[in-house]
Structure 1
Amino acid sequence: MTRSPAPPLPPPKARRRLRETAALTQAQLATRVGVTPGTVRAWESGRTTPRGRKREAYAKLLKTLADEETARQTAQTPRPEPDSAPAPNTAQNTAPEPTAKPQPEPVPEARPAPVALTPAQAFDALYEFGAPALVRQTFLLTGRREQARESVERAFQTAWEHWPEVARDRDPVGWVRATAYEYALSPWQRLRPRHRHPEPPPADPGDRTLLNTLLRLPPRHRRTLVLYDGVGLDLPETAAETEASTPAAANRLLRAREAVAGRLPALADPQVLHRRLAELASNERLGVARPHAVRGGGERRARFWTRAAIAFTAALIGTTALTVHTAPTHYEPPVSPGQAVRGVPPRVAQGSLSDEELELRQKLRDQLQDGPERLSPRLE
C-alpha cells in the first residue's frame, strides 16, 4: 500500500504574508486548523513542518487565502479601454510595404550541466559560507567566545542530522542561525561550570562598553536588536525568527535601542549602531572548526546517544524481568493483633522466627535428643 504524497506548502515567509494579507491573527488561524498558536508560529518561522491531516488542512487553508488574494487583485486591476478604430486604408494612398526577410534565430550556446553535489559537499559549502559570520553574531548575544563557537557547531550538527529538511529550506543559513541562537540563549547555560569563570573582555574600551550594554538587555530584546540592526533582517523576518508578532518585535527593538542610547548616546542613530555592531563582531578573532570535524562530531554524538538509549532500554527490560521473577506469586495477609476479651489477655500468636531464633532451633535439632549417657559409679 503506497502513501499519498503530502500536499505542497508555500515557503514560511509566504505563509505569514498570506495570513497577514487576510487580516488573520495566529490564534485565529490556529483555531481554523485545529492547533495551538505556538505551532503556527513554528510553521511560519520554518522551524517545524506540519504533517498528516494537519498539513492537509493547513495547505487547504493557505490555498483558499491565496485564491482570495488573487481574486482581490483581479478585481482591483483596471481593465484596458478599447482602442479607437483605425482609419480605412485605401489602395490609392498606401503603397505596399516591403516584406522583411526573416533573420535566422541565434543558436543558444550549450552550457555544461551543473554538477550535483553530495550531501557532505553541500553541507561543507554551507558551513564554510555561514559559520564565521554566525560565530561573530552569536558572540554579540553571549559575550563568550567559546560558547559562541560551541553553539554554532551544535547548530550545524543538528542541521546535518536533519539535512534533507535543511537542504530544501529556502534559507538554510537562517535555519542554522535560529538553532544556534536558541542554544546560546538557553537558560541551562548558566548551570555549566564554565559559565562561572568570566572570559577576558575586548581590548578596546568602547567595545567593552558596548558589549556590556548588550549583555544587560533581556535575551529577547538582545536577539531582536542583533537580528535587525546587526544581521540586517527586516521586521517581519525578525518577528518570524523570534517567534513573535510583528508589533511585539517592533516594541522589543524600540526598547533595546532606547536602552543602548541611554548608556551610549552616540549610538542613537541606527546606522551608527549597525556599524558599531559590525566592528565589535569583526574585532574579535573567532576561529571555527573544519566542516568534516563538525560532521564527525555530530555523528559520534548521535552514535553515543543511540547506544546509551539501547543500553538503558536493555537495563530497564532486565530489571523488569528480574522483578517479575522474584516477586511473590500470592498474597500473605499479616497476622492481626489480638484483643483482650472480658479481661482475659489474648493468646500470643506464633509469628515468623527471626534469624537468631532460626539458628537456635537448628542447633537444638542437631544435638542428641536423649542427652549424654548416664555415668554410674564403679568400685575400684
Structure 2
Amino acid sequence: MSQTSRGGGTAPPSTATALPTPKERRRLREALSLSEEQVAEVMGVTKATVKAWETGRSAPRGRKREAYVKLLRTGPEPSAAPEAPAASAAPASPASPEAGTSAGKPTPAPAGNVRPKAAAKRAARPPKAPARPGERPGPAPEPKAGPGPGAASASASGPEPGAQAPAGPESGAQALTGPESGPPNVSAPEPGSPDVSVPGLTPEEAFDALYAHAAPGLVHQAYLLTGRRALSREAVEHAFHRAWEHWPEVAVDADPVGWVRAAAYEYALSPWHRLRRAHKHPDAPPAEAGRRALLGALLDLPAPYRRTVLLYDGLGLDLPETAAETEASTPAAANRLLYAHTVIGERMPELADAGALRERLGALVAEAPTATLPAARAVRGGSERRARRMTRAVVGATAVLICVTALTAATAPTRYVPEVAPGQTVNGVPVRGGPQKLGEEDVELRDMLRSRPNPGPQRLVPVAG
C-alpha cells in the first residue's frame, strides 16, 4: 500500500484559498447567521453539497473554493447591515440556528429590508474599492483558542468595542457556552496532539506517533460510551485501520485525533453490535460506587446524547465543535446536553450542577488508560492486509461477473421461437365439425365401392327381383 508524504513536491495552498477545517466551516457559517440553504444559493450548489463540505466528505475547488473561503471569512458589509441598539435586540429562540452562534463573537444581523441571502451574496463578491472616509470597516478575524476544559469560560477582557451584546434570556445553546474569540482563519489543533504534518517525518513515523498518543485514551473513551472493553479496543483498531487507509487525508487534517475519534465513536456506537454474541451485554461494572453510578447513568442515555455529553463535558469541546462532530445542529446538540444533564442529575443529585458534572466526567476521561493494544506496526500491517483482501475480493467479483456475462452472451439464442403447446382434451365443448371417423363397416363399404367399376347412373335404378 503506497502512501504519500505531505512533505513532497507540491506547495501548500496560499492563505487566500486555504480552507478551514470542516468543523471550522460550520462554526464560521453559524457565526455569520447563515443557513445551509443560503450558502447553497450564494455558491450555486445544493444544500447536500454544503453539508458535505462541512462534514469533510468533499471540498470546493477552483473559483468556488475562493468564493467559499471569502464567504466564510467576510461577514455582511457594515453599510448593508447596521447594528441595532442592544436594548431593542430580540431574544434568541432555542430552536433557531442563531442559538448556537455564541461560540464566536456576536455578529450583528441584517436590519431593515436587507435579507440574509442578499447580504451573503454581497459577502461572496470580489473586494471592492477601499472604504470611503467615515465608513467603519468590518471586524478583523481573530485567532481561535484551542479546545480544552476551559474553552467555554467567559473571556476576562469583555466584548470588543462595537460588538453587539446579546439581550434577553439565554437560549439552550447560549446557556451552555460562553463568549469566545472571533472567527479564525484556521482551527488550532488539539493541545498536546502530535504534529503529523512535519515534512521530515515519514508516513509510518507520523502514524506511529499519532497511534501512541491517541489510541490508549480513545480506548478508554470508547469504554465509557459502550461499557464493553473488547468492543472499545476493536473500535479503536478499526478507526486506525481507516486512518492508515486514508493517511494522506488524515495527515493534512488540522485535528487528526478528532478524525480518528469520530471514526472510533461511529464504530463503537453502531447498533449492529447488539446482534453479536460477544458484544450483546456490557461488561461487569466497576467496583467503586461513584464510577459505577456515573457509568450506569451514561449507558442509560441514548447513544447520540451519550456521545454529545462525553465530547462536551468530558473532552471540553465547545458547543459548535460538538455539534459538528455529532453531525447535528447546534440547537439540537444544546438540547441533548440539557436533557443529559437533567437525567444524570436525577440519578446522581451531587452532579446536578453542570460544573460538578463536567469536573467529574473530565476526571473520569483523564484517567490513565490500562488497555493493552497491539503495536502500531501491527495495526498498519493489518490495515494493509485488509486493503489487499478487499481489493482481491473486488477484482474477483468483477472477474466472475465478466465471465458470467460473457457466457450468457455466448449461449443465449439469437432469435426467439415460441413453442407450440400440446393439445389437451376440453370437456363441454362440441367436437370439431367435418367428417366423422369411419367405423369398420363404413370402411368395408368404402373399399367395395372403390373396387367395383362405375357403370353409370343405372346402378342407382332398382332391379326387380
Q: Does the 8 Å contact 1:202/1:284 carry over to 2?
A: no
The alignment's C-alpha RMSD in Å is: 3.0
Q: Does 1:334 align with 2:449?
A: no
Report the equivalent of 2:241.
Answer: 157
Report the equivalent of 1:30.
Answer: 40
User: Letter of the aligned partner of 1:49 in structure 2?
Assistant: S
Q: Does 1:66 align with 2:154?
A: no
Please state whether the residue corresponding to 1:195 is helix, strand or coil.
coil
Q: Does the 8 Å contact 2:227/2:282 carry over to 1?
A: no
Distance in structure 2 (CA, Å) of the matches to 1:38 and 1:144: 35
Please state whether the residue corresponding to 1:314 is helix, strand or coil.
helix
More helix by share: 1
Number of residue-to-residue matches in the alignment: 304
Alignment CA distance shift 1:209-1:68 (3 Å)? closer
Q: Does the 8 Å contact 1:221/1:256 carry over to 2?
A: yes
Q: TM-score, normalised by structure 2?
A: 0.59
Match of 2:30 among 14, 20, 31: 20
Report the equivalent of 1:299.
Answer: 384
Q: Could you tell me the percent identity over the aligned residues?
A: 55
Alignment CA distance shift 1:229-1:119 (3 Å)? same
Report the equivalent of 1:48.
Answer: 57
Gaps of 5+ in 2: 1-11, 80-135, 141-160, 162-197, 435-465
Report the equivalent of 1:232.
Answer: 316
Distance in structure 2 (CA, Å) of the matches to 1:311 and 1:159: 25
Report the equivalent of 1:272.
Answer: 356
**CA deviation map 1:68-103 (0-9, x unaligned):** 46867725799xxxxxxxxxxxxxxxxxxxxxxxxx
Query: Displacement of 1:342 after TM fit?
Result: 6.1
Distance in structure 1 (CA, Å) of the matches to 2:49 and 2:304: 19
Distance in structure 2 (CA, Å) of the matches to 1:288 and 1:39: 38
Please state whether the residue corresponding to 1:74 is helix, strand or coil.
coil
Distance in structure 2 (CA, Å) of the matches to 1:345 and 1:194: 79
Superposed, which structure 2 residues align to 1:1-380 within 5 Å?
8-45=18-55, 47-52=56-61, 56-68=63-75, 74-75=137-138, 116-281=200-365, 282=367, 285-336=370-421, 343-344=431-432
Distance in structure 2 (CA, Å) of the matches to 1:345 and 1:200: 90
Query: Displacement of 1:310 after TM fit?
Result: 0.8
Distance in structure 2 (CA, Å) of the matches to 1:76 and 1:18: 14
Query: Displacement of 1:28 after TM fit?
Result: 2.3
**CA deviation map 1:320-350 (0-9, x unaligned):** 222222222221212156699962189xxxx
Please state whether the residue corresponding to 1:194 is helix, strand or coil.
coil
Alignment CA distance shift 1:21-1:232 (3 Å)? closer
Alignment CA distance shift 1:297-1:342 (3 Å)? same
Report the equivalent of 2:154.
Answer: none
User: Letter of the aligned partner of 1:138 in structure 2?
Assistant: A
Report the equivalent of 1:378.
Answer: none
Q: Does the 8 Å contact 2:320/2:330 carry over to 1?
A: yes
User: Letter of the aligned partner of 1:168 in structure 2?
Assistant: V
Gaps of 5+ in 1: 79-113, 347-380
Which structure ranks higher in relative contact order (CA pairs < 8 Å, sequence separation ≥ 6)? 2
Query: Displacement of 1:297 after TM fit?
Result: 0.9
Distance in structure 1 (CA, Å) of the matches to 2:138 and 2:206: 45
Q: TM-score, normalised by structure 1?
A: 0.71
Query: Displacement of 1:59 after TM fit?
Result: 3.6
User: Letter of the aligned partner of 2:390 in structure 1?
Assistant: W
